[in-house]
Structure 1
């Protein structure tokens, strides 16, 4: 008699506490999107200054990724999660109370540090506590990721209709609830891991396969964040319109990341998917640039971009996991650090190109960066040949999916 498989949705309270915190953490990435024009107007900031809200957040998140495994392996998962959440609460509150765009930029950097500490530990904690094995944990994590990416811009739009400060206050409340939930419900997560050497992620980037994928991800993320962070300006919508647009973008990204990418990987080599999707993304960005004067056309391009980005997020992460024999947490930390830096530089460059030329040029710049990412993989194809040889085991892949999909 066959024993029925345990339900993914029947989990201990501590798992739901971490999953809820994951949703809120990923909401933070798109939360400021709908209020960028309002911040620029209220604080008398230039578009370049406003885009630095993404740069400070992503740059610190990326750099901190290089040391979070070293920290959490020494103080334990629960303490790392709580410190990360506490930092997000504090710096989100400071953002809400700020009187200048420079202050918000600085406090977003502190938010990025908290975000890195949290997301680098959350899935490992879910995997250890979830019933039904790592497969159930990954489903829960991907669901939290998709919800966060989709809800963030929508919530930002709804609250942003009241004030540009309101979304930041919203994060404070939600993250404070998450902090209390983890403090009270998460048990048995403080066993210290085997200490990870401080130098491990830096040495990992010396591996040709991992270095190739990291460089490709840096340029790919330029395309990702030009679409996400620059598009609110040429759209010309209010906070609610931008929120709905990027809610659709997030839903599209979540669908292809969770469901479409795995189907494609069962039928195609990972490198073949990369060589197919990246040129399609470049075409989408070129069309967005050429039709930027039409809000309807730009919305359509943003949604299509979300579909393509979801596939690329998952496939690149899986490729990183097959690239080396390094511990997966080390490989993904090194890769994610470089990838986030690409996202950090993209928004202010896009705003500067817009100011210096017109709204078409930033999208052409993004398309060129995406093609460079494809070219990087093509040049390094020999070093990457083995990533197509065997499927990634879901249990081993948990930590990597966490770090790779988070950007």
Structure 2
């Protein structure tokens, strides 16, 4: 059992490993996006069927987190993580050698069940080692990794396609997971203290999840971060159509605009970590949510009045993403602050609720059709206002 860290003054190696594990899920989401046409041709199917493999992965990622929480609280953090990586490796190999779209879909669901371990367990490990303030700093570092991954993953996937088949993409995922598994087995120490072990049983699991659902501060902080994340999913789903079809941005430059907004998120998350040296997570979250709402309402008003331009939209989106860089890590740390005896379960339920919020927002943007950016700006404003509302409820309950 490693000693608990009272202050995050330097980035320990175990935290870097947790960041890389957290990146595994986004890597599996984004890296194969450029290969959609090649997969459709290779498996002789339609683009729609290939797109559904992404939806299947997201659904599996949301549901699987509920299972890892109880296992992480019973068997520790390391064993479930090793099991998840083994599942991910096996499923990635299956994806690489699949012969039809149906098997690819099922292998993607299995891959998600493995990759979910890299989302749930690192958050629990961080709270095992740090208090709330330093946990916010550590989660900001994880956001740096998660912010960089969606930028680099599609670029990497596109480069792979220039010299190899789409199957090589899943081969690279396999190699990455094998490397992480090796690092976990050789270097990771168990962080769950024996006195915090929770017996595994359906009754105990059910009572823990029910207690969390009744825990006002946990649910409200989780939804404050969840609806902020939902806005990000809406942006990911809606930005290609808005940029390319409405504002006629050349697809070659779409990645640059996407990268600018992602950079806003990354930089803000690191500034948040520095601010926590002088301010409480509650104070940082409160101000960030005001900015979150302001940026999205400005974008919505500009859209409704017909004054929106690409430059103004980019400024609003960059402001939204920067605000989210403050909201997400602080809301997550505050949600887990009082869950020391059930961190695994709490981290799992938080991840599931936030993923479901994001999936619903992304689906709403794809269904809401308009010749203007209204579906995007409208959904961003709705998500920001809901994030603000639940944040205020949580802060008043403190």
**Smaller-chain TM-score bracket:** 0.7 to 0.9
**Worse-matched range after superposition: 152-161 or 16-25:** 16-25
Q: Which residue of structure 1 aligns with residue 4 of structure 2? A: none
Contact residue 235 and residue 298 of structure 1 kept, 8 A = no
The answer (yes or no) to whether the contact 1:53–1:108 under 8 Å persists in 2 is yes
Name structure 2 gaps, 5 residues minimum.
1-6
Aligned-partner Cα distance in 1 for 2:304–2:27: 27
1:254 to 258, 266, 269: 266
Secondary structure in structure 2 of the residue aligned to 1:266 = coil
Match of 1:313 in 2: 328
1:366 maps onto 2:379 in alignment: yes
**2:19–2:142 CA contact under 8 A, matched in 1:** yes
Q: Deviations over 1:228-255 (max 9, x none)?
A: 2332344447886454444433332122
Asked if 1:274 corresponds to 2:277, the answer is no
Q: In structure 2, the residue corresponding to 1:198 is in which secondary structure?
A: helix
Counting only pairs closer than 5 Å after superposition, residues 373-392 of structure 1 correspond to structure 2 as 373-374=386-387, 376-377=389-390, 381=393, 384-387=395-398
Distance 1:79 1:247, change over 3 A: farther
Q: Distance in 1 between matches of 2:302 and 2:338?
A: 33
Distance in 2, matches of 1:188 and 1:368, equals: 42
Q: How many residues align?
A: 373
* Native 8 Å contact 2:69 2:347 kept in 1: no
Distance 1:195 1:248 in 2: 44
TM-score, normalized by length of structure 2? Answer: 0.73
Output the CA distance in 2 between the equivalents of 1:339 and 1:45: 27
Relative to the length of structure 1, the TM-score reads 0.72
Give 1:341 shift: 0.6
- How many Å apart are 1:81 and its aligned residue? 1.2
1:111-153 CA distances to partner (integer Å, 9 max, x unpaired)? 322222232223544677x8x9998887566434413421333
Give the conservation status (yes or no) of the 8 Å contact 1:146–1:250: no
Whether 1:60 and 2:60 are equivalent positions in the alignment is yes
Contact 2:89/2:178 (<8 A) preserved = yes
Out of 120, 141, 144, the position equivalent to 1:143 is 141
8 Å Cα contact 1:93-1:169 kept in structure 2: yes
Q: Deviation digits for residues 301-355 of structure 1, max 9, x if unmatched?
A: 544432122122123224424688975554443333212111122333322323x
Which residue pairs with 1:394 in the alignment? Answer: none
* Aligned counterpart in structure 1 of residue 185 of structure 2, from 177, 183, 186: 183
Question: What is the CA distance between 1:291 and its match in structure 2?
Answer: 8.8
Instruction: Name the counterpart of 1:401.
Output: none
How big is the alpha-carbon RMSD for the aligned residues of Structure 1 and Structure 2? 4.3
Return 5+ residue gaps in structure 1 as ranges. Answer: 388-407
Aligned to 2:350: 335
1:224 CA displacement: 1.6
How does 1:4-83 map onto structure 2 within 5 Å?
8-9=10-11, 11=13, 17-32=17-32, 44-46=46-48, 52-83=52-83
Pairwise CA distance, 1:366: 1.3
Greater shift, 227-236 or 238-247, is seen at 238-247
